[in-house]
């Protein structure tokens, strides 16, 4: 009987997994946040911030799409723009690179990075997932309460 050993996963593999999973819909993003909470890597944090920007833009486009005609046009153009940025981000995550998405990638790192004493640490220091979890939880709670206590028209 041969002695079979399981390959050891390294933190780079785990960071790459988190980075890829973060691009798989909003549910994948939430799963990646939970995975990142257990094993913080700069690659995982980098791509979580990139995808968070795409989610925020998507929500903004969804709100704009309520405007007839002009909002619909903006939504269609924005959707294809998000799709292109998503593909760039997913390819970078699959390659294990901390490569920013075109146009807005650097801004995502600035806007969603944790506070630190020096600017160079801001982009490489992983963010605390419980901060984002709290934010997402408060947004869900706000939405539920808003729908529950909606004023009759």
Number of residues assigned to the chain? 153
Q: What is the pLDDT of residues 27-68, one digit of tens each?
A: 988 888 888 888 888 888 888 888 888 899 899 999 988 988
Q: What confidence score (pLDDT) does residue 123 get?
A: 43
- pLDDT interval class at 9 (50, 70, 90): very low
Q: What is the pLDDT of residues 60-118, one digit of tens each?
A: 999 988 988 898 899 999 999 999 999 998 999 899 888 888 887 787 778 877 765 34
What is the rounded CA–CA span in Å between residue 141 and residue 146? 8
Which of 124 and 90 is assigned the larger pLDDT? 90
Burial degree of 71 (CB within 10 A; 0-12, 13-18, 19+): middle
Phi, psi (deg, nearest 5) at residue 57:
-65, -40
């Amino acid at each position: 009987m041969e002695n079979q050993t399981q390959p050891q996963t390294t933190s780079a593999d785990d960071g790459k997994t988190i980075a890829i999973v973060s691009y798989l819909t909003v549910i994948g993003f939430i799963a990646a946040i939970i995975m990142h909470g257990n094993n913080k890597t700069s690659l995982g944090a980098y791509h979580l911030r990139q995808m968070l920007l795409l989610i925020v833009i998507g929500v903004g486009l969804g709100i704009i799409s309520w405007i007839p005609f002009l909002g619909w046009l903006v939504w269609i153009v924005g959707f294809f723009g998000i799709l292109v940025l998503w593909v760039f981000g997913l390819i970078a995550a699959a390659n294990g690179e901390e490569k920013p998405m075109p146009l807005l990638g650097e801004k995502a790192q600035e806007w969603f990075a944790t506070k630190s004493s020096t600017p160079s640490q801001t982009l490489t220091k992983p963010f605390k997932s419980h901060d984002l979890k709290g934010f997402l939880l408060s947004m869900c709670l706000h939405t539920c309460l808003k729908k529950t206590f909606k004023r009759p028209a």
